[in-house]
């Protein structure tokens, strides 16, 4: 007589195998947005950001190509200054030389290159080269103000546990206008979000030429490492 329970046992075994999870990366949850209640909201917001022409309409830019990337499951968000020329070409944040340096910093904090956190910026479009020829142009206060509602909506939907403030513009907005050496190497928690300031990884910056400043960077990355290790495997939103 054939055992009728065999099919049920085999089905349970298959289900168990299919539900095995891969090791979680620090700073994020599984990347699929499909079943997350806020996944569609973030995807819709990204579509609206990429269609934005506010700075072109206001005469600040000749063309608009907003850049943003990340998953609703990311628990760490990076807020930079603005995309560069490489990011304009690739459509991916932090894909140029600054991005390569940022990846080295993240690796030191235990976040590998294949598992980058949510990536956005104070302004979403490449502002063009600096008139002096040294690096990219710093976005104007008017451009930052036009882009601010997008960033506010991103963070409201994402609700990250940690926000990395990359460079002076992001630090000014979320930490306060202070010298870099007064912010880098420290962390501040407000409304359940921990803010960790970092210098900008751009090669145009000379701030890290000072050995004392490099010590502050190492300290900041140590703080990030501790927070990335402490992230839960899942958290209701």
Dump the DSSP string for 74-86.
BSEEEEES---HH
Domain ranges in the chain?
26-230
Residues whose CB falls within 8 Å of the CB of residue 202, separated by 6 or more in sequence, listed in order = 97, 98, 135, 136, 167
In this prediction, residue 191 carries a pLDDT of: 94
Q: CA-to-CA distance for 166 and 49, rounded, in angstroms? A: 20
**What pLDDT, in 10s, does the model give residues 138-191?**
999 999 999 999 999 999 999 999 999 999 999 999 999 999 999 999 999 999
Q: CA-to-CA distance for 88 and 200, rounded, in angstroms? A: 18
Higher pLDDT, 49 or 24: 49
**What pLDDT, in 10s, does the model give residues 73-96?**
999 999 999 998 888 888 888 888
CA distances from 116 to 155, 166, 171, 187 (A): 17, 14, 20, 20
Report if pTM > 0.85.
Answer: no
Please give the average per-residue pLDDT across 195-206, as a whole number. 88
Q: What is the mean pLDDT of the chain?
A: 84
8 A C-beta contact, residue 202 and residue 228: no
| Percent of the chain predicted with pLDDT > 70 | 81
Lowest mean pLDDT segment, chosen from 2-6, 37-41, 45-49:
2-6
Paired tokens of 50:
């990429």
Class of the CATH domain delimited by 26-230: alpha beta
């Amino acid at each position: 007589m054939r055992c009728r329970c065999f099919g049920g046992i085999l089905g349970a075994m298959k289900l168990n195998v299919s539900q095995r999870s891969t090791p979680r990366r620090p700073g994020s949850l599984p990347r699929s947005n499909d079943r997350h209640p806020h996944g569609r909201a973030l995807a819709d917001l990204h579509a609206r950001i990429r269609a934005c022409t506010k700075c072109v309409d206001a005469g600040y830019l000749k063309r608009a190509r907003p850049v943003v990337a990340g998953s609703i499951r990311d628990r760490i968000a990076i807020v930079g200054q603005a995309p560069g020329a490489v990011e304009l070409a690739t459509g991916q944040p932090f894909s140029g030389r600054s991005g390569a340096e940022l990846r080295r910093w993240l690796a030191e904090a235990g976040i590998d290159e294949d598992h980058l956190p949510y990536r956005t910026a104070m302004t979403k479009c490449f502002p063009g080269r600096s008139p002096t020829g040294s690096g990219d142009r710093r976005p104007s206060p008017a451009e930052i103000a036009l882009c601010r509602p997008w960033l506010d909506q991103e963070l409201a939907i994402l609700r990250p546990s940690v926000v990395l403030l990359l460079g002076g513009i992001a630090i000014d907005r979320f930490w306060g206008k202070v010298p870099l050496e007064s912010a880098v190497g420290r962390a501040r928690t407000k409304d359940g979000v921990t803010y960790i300031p970092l210098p900008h990884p751009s090669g145009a910056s000379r701030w890290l030429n000072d050995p004392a400043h490099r010590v502050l960077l190492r300290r900041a990355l140590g703080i990030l490492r501790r927070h990335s290790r402490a992230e839960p495997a899942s958290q209701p939103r």
